[in-house]
Amino acid sequence: MKIKVMYFAVLREQAKKSDEILEISFTNPRDIYNYLKRKYNFSLEISELKVAVNDCYEDFDIELKEMDSLVFIPPVAGG
Amino acid sequence: MFEISIDSIEEYKSKSLLTPDCGAVVTFEGRVRNHNEGQCVDSLEYEVYKTLAEKEGEKILQNAKVKFHIINAFCIHRIGHLQIGDLAVWIGVTSKHRREAFKACEFIINSVKEAVPIWKKENYCDKSIESKWVYCQEDYH
């Protein structure tokens, strides 16, 4: 399955890219983050993140569909 | 309305929010300060996930309207590289009476800091200290 992943802030710096298309067998954000954490050595634990699918906050265990867009959201700091 | 801007937001004034039934206007300006947690800060870099930020920001303003019965609410957040003293966020709230506007304005800035996907990186005066992404703390400064 193909999933579009966008990276922001600390995750963008650690992945050294802003986005990519992943071709993977994992079907939920939790498994995908665990895979990416190993791949890019992400410093943030899953418990520190939120996740957005197709520009909406979602649960880490939601079932993804082909070409969904996925964003792992580090702790925010607006203001 | 909630907006994100790469350009300066210094020109924002409450006048555009005024309606004949409004008796109170409360505005908030969040500016870049020169220190944080004991470190001398040189500048800040803001980054945004724009689509979700606009959506969540709009939700916060609508919630504030319902919760505090205010007349109007507007928030604009700057992104990009900001210098000390620059305006990072501007909020304007109008209501019939002052109490609702004060409460709504505080609710909006607290909610923006908590829920809108905006991040900031601190660059320090001491260049031997590595720039760092900072997170908002539970207690509101």
pLDDT digits (tens, 9 = 90+) for B30-44: 999 999 999 999 999
Nearest to A78 among B112, B121, B133 (CB): B112
How many structural domains does chain A have?
Answer: 1
Is the per-residue pLDDT at B140 higher than 80? Answer: no
**Predicted pLDDT at B141:** 45
Residue A79 domain-assigned?
Answer: no
Residue A51 domain-assigned?
Answer: yes
Spell out which residues of chain B touch residue A57, defining contact as CB-CB under 8 Å.
Answer: 52, 56
- Mapped onto helix, strand or coil, the DSSP state of residue A9 is helix
Neighbours of B132 (CB within 10 A): 15
**For A52, nearest residue in chain B (alpha carbons):** B52
Query: What is the domain extent for residue A15?
Result: 2-73
Residue A55 domain-assigned?
Answer: yes
B49 is written with which tokens? Answer: 């996930």
Q: Check A78 against B135: CB less than 8 A apart.
A: no
Residue B8 in contact with residue B87, Cβ under 8 Å?
A: yes
Question: By the CB < 8 Å criterion, does B78 face chain A?
Answer: no
CA atoms of B124 and B128, how far apart (whole Å): 8
**Predicted pLDDT at B137:** 63
Q: Check A8 against B47: CB less than 8 A apart.
A: yes
**For B121, nearest residue in chain A (alpha carbons):** A9
Residue A58 domain-assigned?
Answer: yes
Residue A49 domain-assigned?
Answer: yes
Average pLDDT for runs of 10 along chain A of length 79: 97 98 97 98 97 97 98 96
Spell out which residues of chain A touch residue B111, defining contact as CB-CB under 8 Å.
Answer: none
Backbone angles phi, psi at B20, to 5 degrees: -60, -25
Q: Which of residues 34-53 of B touch A (CB under 8 A)?
A: 46-49, 51-52
Q: Which residues, other chains included, contact B68 with Cβ-Cβ below 8 Å and sequence gap of 6+?
A: B95, B100, B101, B103, B104, B107
**Predicted pLDDT at B139:** 45
Residue A60 domain-assigned?
Answer: yes
CATH number, residue A37: 3.10.20.30
Residue A78 domain-assigned?
Answer: no
Residue A27 domain-assigned?
Answer: yes
Q: What is the pTM of this model?
A: 0.94
